[in-house]
Amino acid sequence: MENTLPITVVSILLALLPIVTLLVFLLGLEWSAPEAGAIGLFVAAGVGIFGFQMPLESVAIAGTKGAWDAIFILYVVWSALLLYHIADRAGAFDALRLGIMRFSRNELFLVLVFGWVFVSFLQGITGFGTPVAMVVPLLIVLGVRPIFAVAAPLVGHAWGNMFGTLAVAWLATLQVVSLDADTVTTAAFQTALLLILPNLFAGLTVAFMHSGMRGVRYALPMILMISLTHGTIQAALTLWNPVLANFIAVTIGFVLLYPISRWSRYRDPLPYDDSRMMQTHNLEESDEQETKMGLLYALLPYIILMIVAIVVLVPEPITMLLRQWQVGLPFPEVTTGYGVTRPAGDPYAPFSILTHPGTFLLISALLTGWVYQSRGYNTARPDSNENDTIINNLLRDAIPSSLAIIAFLVLSKLMDHSGQTEVLARGIAQVVPPDLYASLAPTLGVLGAFMTSSNTASNVLFAPVQETIAILGGLPVATIIAAQNAGAAIGNAIAPANIVLGTGPAGILGDEGKVLRIALPYALIATFVTGIGAWLLVMITTGNGG
């Protein structure tokens, strides 16, 4: 059946309605994520049925697919929260705080270490929200206010989504576009070049969160060193092996922290303490408090996580063997009255449980719990009661965030299956002149990631659309695909489902709108600057740059 979707002002406004609804309830009315997500979900379904001729069967199938997609993320959420509560009950975070005080007493340096460099390192190994969920408690240990403890790693990790997790988003992109070998190499390299910009702005933004322009000026040497390392190494390695480009770059960046920490500028306490980001200045405490646990055992969950992920994901034969065990659900083909068709899936979005980040986290949680138990660390807190158990705390934190994530992903699938997503993409292409389109191409990637909370899903949705627009407009396909890739990475900083991954461990479920307000300026500026970068690449590629 031919696709006859109308691209009109009315259809574009209707397609925007679910997104606008979500923003109004999250930002304007400050509703919690589960509440705002539920309203947005019903608006998307209503628009699909009454505005886009979506049959009820398609609504049911799209909703079920969204719920299935949510399981992929919820496995991370529940495993990360289990690991968090095991470590918290054992006193690991108190031990970590005191250990950090011995390593450095410069809180801005350490906020950048965890909120930008370490979270990027984790993203290079394992993604799908794991880095955010794991770093939030560390920042709170440093004395960071919970709102900023969520916003900082959201911003800090976003740039690494494209080639992180061993380039899963890049590999998915290649499955949905038709590029020759030279164009593939060019697109990977140009994507890495564009990602230098959101990476640099991530470091600057985290420093600004801490103490405004004063923090930016103080941290600038460190930010430039780390960003230059991340960006140039990743870009160079995409010409050799995009799959390992980010992993190697962020590992070198992480190792570089040690010599930087020996510099007195970042070793000694800050010469000022006027930070809106900090709730307490834990690193400046003079008490002689000690904990039963040492720093090495406090870091044990992260050490196990890294070892498990590297062992499973780096050796390709092991990865390919373990990926053979998959679970998926069959879905029939569905079509709307306008001919928007989604093919049958048997299975749809198969779940590779043995290589999933949730499995890495679960293994880390179980091994950490066993070690802490054997060492006598997991004793009950003095103020605990009979309901203060790991399982009860896990259920209390995980259920609300799970409902929000399910709502967001069902909303995304409803928009996709009804054609609302396609209308937005084609509408942008119609109103933007080809000469300017490159500057707006990252916006489509941001939109996709905002809707799906996934760089990979954004590229699967919009990379074919971007390819078509580039061909019709006579634009270099590699550059437009690179702009899509970079935009999709940036969008992870403001994706509602990703925000919930942080508000759960931070204990501030319901404050997602406040977090979004902090992260949104970064996304807007990074998208704008990346758009300029994409436009310049087009000018250079086509010879119009003079």
Number of domains in the chain: 1
Assess if residue 384 is contained within a domain.
Answer: no
Give 5's contacts (C-beta < 8 A, 6+ positions apart): 11, 52, 338, 339, 340, 419, 422, 423, 426
Assess if residue 520 is contained within a domain.
Answer: yes
pLDDT tens, position by position, for the chain (546 residues)? 677 888 888 998 998 898 888 878 877 777 777 788 889 889 999 999 999 999 999 999 999 988 887 887 778 778 877 887 888 788 887 787 677 677 778 999 999 999 999 899 878 766 667 788 878 988 988 889 999 999 999 999 999 988 886 677 787 777 667 788 899 999 999 999 999 999 999 999 999 999 999 999 999 999 999 999 999 999 999 998 887 788 889 989 988 998 998 899 998 888 887 888 998 765 554 444 556 778 788 878 878 877 887 787 777 787 778 777 878 788 888 888 888 888 887 788 777 788 777 788 888 889 998 988 888 886 555 455 556 677 887 787 778 777 877 887 788 789 888 988 788 877 877 788 887 889 989 998 998 888 777 787 777 767 877 887 888 788 999 999 999 999 999 999 998 878 888 888 888 878 888 999 999 999 999 999 999 999 999 999 887 654
CA 68 to CA 79: how far, in whole Å?
A: 17
Name residue 540's amino acid: I
Tokens 């989604």, located at residue: 342
Assess if residue 439 is contained within a domain.
Answer: yes
Find residue 474's DSSP bridge partners. none
CA 543 to CA 337: how far, in whole Å?
A: 44
Give 82's contacts (C-beta < 8 A, 6+ positions apart): 361, 362, 365, 390, 394
- Contact between 166 and 313 under an 8 Å Cβ cutoff? The reply is yes
Assess if residue 295 is contained within a domain.
Answer: yes
What are the strands, taking DSSP E only, across 387-528?
none
3-state SS string for 322-335: HCCCEEEEEECCEE
- Contact between 413 and 432 under an 8 Å Cβ cutoff? The reply is no
CB atoms within 10 A of CB 264: 7
- Contact between 465 and 440 under an 8 Å Cβ cutoff? The reply is no
CA 503 to CA 506: how far, in whole Å?
A: 5
Query: DSSP of 489-528, one letter per residue?
Result: HHHTTT-HHHHHHHHHHHT-TT-HHHHHHHHHHHHHHHHH
What pLDDT sits at residue 288? 45
Assess if residue 385 is contained within a domain.
Answer: no
Assess if residue 156 is contained within a domain.
Answer: yes
- Contact between 441 and 483 under an 8 Å Cβ cutoff? The reply is yes
Name the nearest CA neighbour of 93 among 460, 506, 529: 506
**Encoded tokens for 398:** 């995980």
* Four-point Cα dihedral 415, 420, 426, 431, nearest 10: -120
Assess if residue 108 is contained within a domain.
Answer: yes
- Contact between 304 and 366 under an 8 Å Cβ cutoff? The reply is no
CA 45 to CA 414: how far, in whole Å?
A: 6
**Encoded tokens for 31:** 């509703």
What are the strands, taking DSSP E only, across 269-381?
326-331, 334-335, 341-342, 345-352
Phi, psi of 289, rounded to the nearest 5 degrees: -60, 140
Give 286's contacts (C-beta < 8 A, 6+ positions apart): none
Give 225's contacts (C-beta < 8 A, 6+ positions apart): 256, 260
Q: What is the pTM of this model?
A: 0.75
β-pairing verdict for 345-352 and 334-335: unpaired
Name the nearest CA neighbour of 502 among 203, 166, 84, 100: 84
Name residue 186's amino acid: T
**Encoded tokens for 202:** 């991530």
Assess if residue 4 is contained within a domain.
Answer: no
- Rama region for 507: left / alpha / beta (φ>0; ψ in -120 to 50; rest): left
Domain assignment of residue 466, given as a range: 9-378+391-542
CA 137 to CA 242: how far, in whole Å?
A: 31
CA distances from 334 to 59, 330, 340 (A): 9, 13, 8
- Contact between 413 and 60 under an 8 Å Cβ cutoff? The reply is no
Give 136's contacts (C-beta < 8 A, 6+ positions apart): 146, 149, 150, 153, 502, 505, 506
